[in-house]
């Protein structure tokens, strides 16, 4: 595929506004890389593009799945790449926009395909985590694979800790070493990666105001409708941020004020994790979105230069990239 322009960053950082202006400037279409915006009936709580925003530029992979259907990274990779090919076939610029780091890497770098699953082994490891605590499991991972353990933001990331221990038990090789071998493969999708991140205080203020706006826009009624449609368990499974707290309020377990404060706190924590993920990728060029017109001009300049450099490299037969693949969650 030809190069794509990726706009990444934490929640409420200004990705949507910047990407819409870029799509208009560069004759582009937007491929959403947001793990929650794929679901129908969750547009308010996931801050999905509004009808007015979608009218300004074509959007893909937004509001097309029922919450009872699980979207995994592997499926996203396949469908997103098909979208990119279609956009490029129409002679337009493909913009990948979102804050789900695993999905961005799945699309651009490809997923790391380790050994198959061993459900019995996974179950035993989860039982150990429940019995001994997450810290004990993380300590085991640090012994057998300190490099991968260092990439995890918390011992509570049990899914990835269990997968890494599972891979090591099945192969005798550290997960990080298998992944390093994957990084030597050529880049699957050439991309200019733009990171959007205002100063932390400004970001937290944006997050707080966004949650208030969601409530004002009818988020509680949205969650009520999802529960009435039988999706409460599905919301738990897909781990939709904030929906659990609003659902608890609707069950009478906490006040709306307490639910809103908890949602704001969880969004701020999520933003920190997103920043840690994307800042670990040294290919990302970071911009402060406070001056949007200047940011658009800067990205356009970087994009034109990136395309020129890619053209020159291809003329000289250099199609390598040393791009890094993504650790799959499963």
**Whole-angstrom distance, CA of residue 162 vs CA of residue 81:** 29
Domain locations along the chain: 4-109+187-327, 119-183
**Whole-angstrom distance, CA of residue 55 vs CA of residue 53:** 5
Say if residue 327's pLDDT is above 90. no
Q: Which of 127, 109, 221 is nearest to 165 (CA)?
A: 127
Is the distance from CB of 24 to CB of 126 less than 8 angstroms? no
Report the pLDDT averaged over residues 89-101. Answer: 97
Which residues are registered as beta bridge partners of 328? none
Average pLDDT taken over every residue of the chain:
90
Q: How many CB atoms lie within 10 A of CB 300?
A: 15
pLDDT in tens, 216-268: 999 999 999 999 999 999 998 888 899 999 999 999 999 999 999 999 999 99
pLDDT in tens, 104-128: 999 999 876 667 778 888 889 999 8
Cα Rg for the chain, rounded, in angstroms?
Answer: 20
pLDDT in tens, 287-322: 988 999 999 999 999 999 999 998 877 766 654 444
What global pTM score does this model have? 0.79
Please state the separation of Cα 326 from the chain's center in Å: 11
- Supply the pLDDT for residue 187: 60
Say if residue 16's pLDDT is above 70. yes
Second-level CATH architecture of 4-109+187-327: 3-Layer(aba) Sandwich (3.40)
Domain topology for 119-183: Histone, subunit A (1.10.20)
Q: Which of 114, 105, 115, 113 is nearest to 188 (CA)?
A: 105
């Amino acid at each position: 595929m030809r190069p794509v322009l990726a706009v990444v960053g934490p929640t409420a950082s200004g990705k949507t506004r910047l990407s819409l202006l870029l799509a208009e400037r560069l004759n582009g279409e937007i491929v959403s890389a947001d793990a929650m915006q794929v679901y129908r009936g969750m547009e308010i709580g996931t801050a999905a593009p509004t009808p007015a925003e979608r009218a300004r530029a074509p959007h893909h992979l937004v509001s097309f799945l029922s919450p009872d259907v699980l979207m995994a990274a592997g499926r996203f990779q396949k469908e997103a790449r098909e979208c990119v090919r279609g956009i490029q076939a129409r002679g337009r610029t493909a913009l990948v926009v979102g804050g789900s780091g695993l999905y961005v890497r799945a699309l651009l770098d490809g997923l790391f395909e380790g050994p198959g699953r061993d459900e019995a082994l996974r179950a035993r490891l989860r039982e150990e985590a429940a019995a001994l605590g997450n810290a004990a499991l993380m300590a085991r991972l640090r012994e057998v694979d300190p490099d991968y353990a260092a990439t995890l933001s918390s011992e509570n990331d049990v899914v990835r800790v269990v997968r890494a221990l599972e891979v090591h038990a099945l192969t005798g090789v550290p997960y990080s070493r298998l992944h390093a071998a994957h990084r030597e493969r050529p880049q699957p999708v050439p991309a200019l990666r733009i990171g959007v991140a205002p100063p932390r205080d400004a970001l937290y203020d944006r997050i707080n105001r966004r949650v208030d706006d969601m409530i004002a826009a009818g988020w509680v009624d949205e969650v009520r409708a999802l529960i009435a449609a039988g999706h409460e368990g599905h919301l738990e499974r897909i781990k939709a941020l904030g929906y659990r707290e609003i659902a608890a309020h609707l069950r009478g377990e906490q006040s709306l004020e307490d639910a809103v404060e908890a949602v704001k706190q969880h969004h701020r924590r999520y933003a920190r994790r997103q920043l840690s993920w994307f800042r670990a990728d040294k290919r990302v060029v970071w911009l402060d979105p406070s001056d949007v017109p200047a940011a658009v001009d800067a990205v356009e300049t970087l994009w034109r230069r990136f395309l020129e450099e890619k053209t020159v490299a291809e003329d000289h037969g250099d199609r390598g990239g040393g791009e890094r693949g993504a650790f799959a969650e499963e």
